[in-house]
A and B are shown apart, each in its own frame.
Chain A
Amino acid sequence: MANTISTIPFKGTAEQAALLDKVIAEQKGKAGCLIPVLQKAQEIYGYLPVEVEEKIAEGLDVSLEKIYEVVTFYAQFALNPKGKYNVSVCLGTACYVKGSGKVFDKLKEVLGIDEGGCTSDGIFSLETCRCVGACGLAPVMMINDDVYGRLVPNDVAGILEKYKN
């Protein structure tokens, strides 16, 4: 299994680090403070990349794995940031038989990311979903709330272009 360190370069700022330091200082030593710290950290950074978890591990003096096992237990915590635009490809049956798998592969290629990933500029993240109820338009993908249907792989680049500015 490949590691789950986000491929998006970490862009934490000094302000964010100072905020997290403050949270850690407030919570350190309080019984059961790990989850509240993780929740605040995710509020600050939007997700919990290795850089943030390392900082918490250091600050609270617990092993990184003890943080990671908590992070992966709870659905609320994310290891990857979501992009400004979240691209979600329907892999429901209708879309799949109409080639949404190929559209998905093309998206991965164009964006250079895998499922659950986010581009390094933070603009696009990529997900798959089950049926969005638009089988007549299959294959379908959604970019935030916009639905694109009857796709062929070559449409992908052009559609993404519209969001780049």
Chain B
Amino acid sequence: MKSLAEIAEIRNTMKDKVSPAEGSNTMRIVVGMATCGIAAGARPVLETLVSEIEAKGLSAAVSVKQTGCIGICQFEPVVEIYQGGKEKVTYVKMTPDKAKRVVEEHVVGGKPIAEFTLQEGEAVNEKPVSLTETRFYRNQKRVALRNCGVINPEDIDEYIATDGYAALAKVLNEMTPEEVISTVLASGLRGRGGAGFPTGKKWELARTLVQDGGQKYVCCNADEGDPGAFMDRSVLEGDPHAILEAMAIAGYAIGASQGYIYVRAEYPTAVYRLNIAIDQARKYGLLGKNIFGTNFDFDIELRLGAGAFVCGEETALMTSIEGKRGEPRPRPPFPAVKGLFGRPTILNNVETYANIPQIILKGADWFASMGTEKSKGTKVFALGGKINHTGLVEIPMGTPLREIIEEIGGGIPGGKKFKAAQTGGPSGGCIPASLTDTPIDYDNLIAIGSMMGSGGLIVMDEDNCMVDIAKFFLQFTVDESCGKCTPCRVGTKRLYEILEKITSGKGELSDIDKLEELCMYIKQNALCGLGQTAPNPVLSTLRYFKDEYIAHIVDKKCPAGVCKDLLTYKIIADKCKGCTKCKRNCPVGAISGEVKQPHVIDPDKCIKCGVCMSNCSFGAIVKE
């Protein structure tokens, strides 16, 4: 068990190792080893760096560490080199061979290899590039992600070096629980998991509504299930101690001594690192009895999700921790009164917690200075879809969507036109091109029919069919509905079936009314937040892209060319050379024609698999 002074000592000795100061002769190499980095081949790169440095006898001055997500997914594996007084150098798409050269030329030779560094645009930079200088990075503001890609997540000392556990020390030694709550309240922090309920308010209710001296619980929602969202995974993999520290602070604030982290079993790296972090924190006495010698006790248990999206809903998550089917419960009673095991409970998501230690250390005013009037601070987004720079970005609230797409995201690939951005996953909606100047915050997103959600941001271009997108999300909702309440169990299924009818060309105009009626009904009647927001993908596409629905129903056409049943493949006689390749490759024998004569496709037999089109060397086959 470490005392305050011992923690401070660790901080002092580690500081220079984590970020070498000017004049220091140490060098630090970090390798992005989050799930995506590992999948891209970061491990052999790390191993090569370690063995090369050792072989060259440089281990004393040069440290090689793994770190969490650096944020630029499509450039993985990523290696960054820090040297005192110099801008860091970011190497991308690394391989073991490249790593050897980096050690040789940069570490030993002192000459960074510009061509291995991050390149933006066409021209190859002469000068080595640091991530911090890029369009992708420079408008970002890292609060929740501040340690991701910087520290070694498996080393508590590195976390301590970046002021880790200083907030907990401050809270326990200098603040009353009420002061902690009023600081969080004053910061304006709102829940980052979806609905944006004020975090301080949640804590205050859990502290004050029931005061019977009994057990209370602090839970962390790490059951990130939205397709295309991985913000929470990145924080857990890159900075697990921040979550533990924040949960302990929350425990102190509401009067709880037990915490649970509910994390997806599909995140093995996150689970592994959380387990390490919990062990280390217990060894240091930062979890357990009498933390920092005070009479505050707090411990944390991990619970693994077992593959049910609905467990991201707060009451379902608690039912699942209780060992039951993860079905939501009606509210009220709210968890602040009757939550886990029937006791007062708070549940915050990973990103929310990641902000807490910073708010305590830097103050509510600092946090509230970022963002918009009602949405303070920053928000992390997982940027994906039809966008040049996919990755993890953290931006101040209020940043317009256009800036995220065009500046940070680097625009749409292939010169295609932006059509819509989807936020909020299956609970969210699609934002059309006409609204890209909307500053992103909780209230604006709700007003335009979407929601913040946990932070997935999927960009779509002209090749995406919006009816198909709505159907995709509804399919997801149907698969993941818990089956408890009628509106969600049966209603979403019927909603899906109507969308299927429309995309298969059998829709009637009255189906649009039926869709709207069902959507409004589900929104009003479903038991839980997930059910109530399940119609959003349909409602928002109906709102902004009704013409596409009409095209499917009236013209029996899919303007984006996605819905198979509404497509026809045709051979343009003028372009067809009669090579017979399409005919030979058609899996269903739908193409006929003689050698050197134009071929034709029998639309009745054609199954629209597209094999002919991809096989045609003359561009003679079109779909419409």
Cβ-based interface call for A5 (8 A):
no
- The answer to whether A32 touches B341, judged by C-beta atoms less than 8 angstroms apart, is yes
- The answer to whether B325 touches A73, judged by C-beta atoms less than 8 angstroms apart, is yes
Cβ-based interface call for A121 (8 A):
no
Cβ-based interface call for A129 (8 A):
no
Q: Which residues of A contact B608 (CB under 8 A)?
A: 93
Q: Which residues of A contact B326 (CB under 8 A)?
A: 73-74
- The answer to whether A98 touches B587, judged by C-beta atoms less than 8 angstroms apart, is yes
Q: How far is the CA of A32 from the CA of B306 in the complex (A)?
A: 14
- The answer to whether A74 touches B587, judged by C-beta atoms less than 8 angstroms apart, is no
- The answer to whether A33 touches B607, judged by C-beta atoms less than 8 angstroms apart, is no
Q: State which residues 129-165 of A face B: CB under 8 Å.
A: 135-138
Cβ-based interface call for A70 (8 A):
yes
Which secondary structure dominates chain B's binding surface?
Answer: loop
- The answer to whether A74 touches B303, judged by C-beta atoms less than 8 angstroms apart, is no
- The answer to whether A135 touches B611, judged by C-beta atoms less than 8 angstroms apart, is yes
Q: How far is the CA of A75 from the CA of B307 in the complex (A)?
A: 5
- The answer to whether A73 touches B308, judged by C-beta atoms less than 8 angstroms apart, is yes
- The answer to whether B265 touches A39, judged by C-beta atoms less than 8 angstroms apart, is yes
Cβ-based interface call for B525 (8 A):
no
- Tell me the smallest distance from the CB of A136 to a CB of chain B, in Å: 5
Q: Which residue of B lies closest to A71 (CB)?
A: B306
- The answer to whether A70 touches B303, judged by C-beta atoms less than 8 angstroms apart, is no
- Tell me the smallest distance from the CB of B531 to a CB of chain A, in Å: 16
Cβ-based interface call for B588 (8 A):
yes
- The answer to whether B587 touches A69, judged by C-beta atoms less than 8 angstroms apart, is no
Q: How far is the CA of A38 from the CA of B265 in the complex (A)?
A: 13
Q: Which residues of A contact B276 (CB under 8 A)?
A: none
Q: Which residue of A lies closest to B265 (CB)?
A: A76
Cβ-based interface call for B331 (8 A):
no
Given contacts A136-B585, A136-B587, contact A74 B323 (CB under 8 A): no
Q: State which residues 117-137 of A face B: CB under 8 Å.
A: 135-137
Q: How far is the CA of A76 from the CA of B482 in the complex (A)?
A: 15
Q: Which residues of A contact B321 (CB under 8 A)?
A: 32
Q: Which listed residue (A76, A77, A94) contacts B588, Cβ 8 A?
A: A94
- Tell me the smallest distance from the CB of A13 to a CB of chain B, in Å: 25
- Tell me the smallest distance from the CB of B328 to a CB of chain A, in Å: 13
- The answer to whether A76 touches B307, judged by C-beta atoms less than 8 angstroms apart, is yes
- The answer to whether B320 touches A31, judged by C-beta atoms less than 8 angstroms apart, is no
Q: How far is the CA of A136 from the CA of B303 in the complex (A)?
A: 45
- Tell me the smallest distance from the CB of A1 to a CB of chain B, in Å: 17
- The answer to whether B607 touches A94, judged by C-beta atoms less than 8 angstroms apart, is yes
Q: Which listed residue (B303, B341, B609) contacts A94, Cβ 8 A?
A: B609
Q: How far is the CA of A93 from the CA of B307 in the complex (A)?
A: 28
Q: How far is the CA of A24 from the CA of B583 in the complex (A)?
A: 62
Cβ-based interface call for A36 (8 A):
yes
Q: Which residue of B lies closest to A39 (CB)?
A: B304
- The answer to whether B325 touches A94, judged by C-beta atoms less than 8 angstroms apart, is no
Q: State which residues 567-593 of B face A: CB under 8 Å.
A: 585, 587-588
Q: How far is the CA of A31 from the CA of B610 in the complex (A)?
A: 54
- The answer to whether A76 touches B587, judged by C-beta atoms less than 8 angstroms apart, is no
Q: Which residues of B contact A73 (CB under 8 A)?
A: 308, 325-327, 482
Size band of the interface chain A makes with B = 20 to 34
Q: How far is the CA of A33 from the CA of B277 in the complex (A)?
A: 22
Q: Which residues of A contact B610 (CB under 8 A)?
A: 135
Q: Which residues of B contact A135 (CB under 8 A)?
A: 587, 609-611
- The answer to whether B607 touches A35, judged by C-beta atoms less than 8 angstroms apart, is no
Q: Which residues of B contact A74 (CB under 8 A)?
A: 306-308, 326
Given contacts A98-B587, A98-B588, contact A32 B611 (CB under 8 A): no
Binary flags per residue of B580-624, CB closer than 8 Å to A gives 1, else 0? 000001011000000000000000000111110001000000000
Q: How far is the CA of A94 from the CA of B590 in the complex (A)?
A: 11
- Tell me the smallest distance from the CB of B510 to a CB of chain A, in Å: 29
Q: How far is the CA of A34 from the CA of B304 in the complex (A)?
A: 12
Cβ-based interface call for B322 (8 A):
yes
Binary flags per residue of A21-58, CB closer than 8 Å to B gives 1, else 0? 00000000001111110110000000000000000000
Q: Which residues of A contact B341 (CB under 8 A)?
A: 31-32
Q: Which residue of B lies closest to A77 (CB)?
A: B306
Given contacts A75-B307, A97-B607, contact A35 B587 (CB under 8 A): no
Q: How far is the CA of A164 from the CA of B611 in the complex (A)?
A: 34
Q: How far is the CA of A77 from the CA of B326 in the complex (A)?
A: 14
Q: Which residues of A contact B304 (CB under 8 A)?
A: 35-36, 39
- The answer to whether B323 touches A33, judged by C-beta atoms less than 8 angstroms apart, is yes
Cβ-based interface call for B324 (8 A):
yes
Q: How far is the CA of A76 from the CA of B263 in the complex (A)?
A: 13
- The answer to whether B306 touches A75, judged by C-beta atoms less than 8 angstroms apart, is yes
Q: How far is the CA of A52 from the CA of B561 in the complex (A)?
A: 50
Q: Which residue of B lies closest to A95 (CB)?
A: B587
- Tell me the smallest distance from the CB of A18 to a CB of chain B, in Å: 23
Q: Which residue of B lies closest to A97 (CB)?
A: B588
- Tell me the smallest distance from the CB of A139 to a CB of chain B, in Å: 8
* Residue of A39, A135, A138 ringed by the most chain B CB atoms within 10 A: A135
- Tell me the smallest distance from the CB of A141 to a CB of chain B, in Å: 15
Q: How far is the CA of A74 from the CA of B610 in the complex (A)?
A: 36
- Tell me the smallest distance from the CB of B315 to a CB of chain A, in Å: 14
Q: Which residues of A contact B323 (CB under 8 A)?
A: 31-36, 70
Q: How far is the CA of A138 from the CA of B585 in the complex (A)?
A: 10
- Tell me the smallest distance from the CB of B612 to a CB of chain A, in Å: 9
Binary flags per residue of A65-101, CB closer than 8 Å to B gives 1, else 0? 0000110011111000000000000000111011000
Q: Which residues of B contact A35 (CB under 8 A)?
A: 303-304, 306, 320, 323
- Tell me the smallest distance from the CB of A29 to a CB of chain B, in Å: 12
Q: Which listed residue (A39, A94, A98, A137) contacts B306, Cβ 8 A?
A: A39
- The answer to whether B322 touches A31, judged by C-beta atoms less than 8 angstroms apart, is yes
- The answer to whether B325 touches A136, judged by C-beta atoms less than 8 angstroms apart, is no
Q: Which residue of B lies closest to A38 (CB)?
A: B306
Return 12 A-B CB contacts under 8 Å, by A number. A35-B304, A36-B303, A69-B325, A74-B307, A75-B307, A76-B307, A94-B587, A94-B611, A95-B587, A97-B588, A98-B587, A135-B610
Q: Give me the interface of A with B, judged by CB distance under 8 Å.
A: 31-36, 38-39, 69-70, 73-77, 93-95, 97-98, 135-138
Q: 4 smallest A-B Cβ distances: which pairs? A: A75-B307, A74-B306, A34-B323, A76-B307
Known: A39-B306, A73-B327. 4 other contacts (CB 8 A): A73-B482, A74-B308, A75-B306, A76-B306
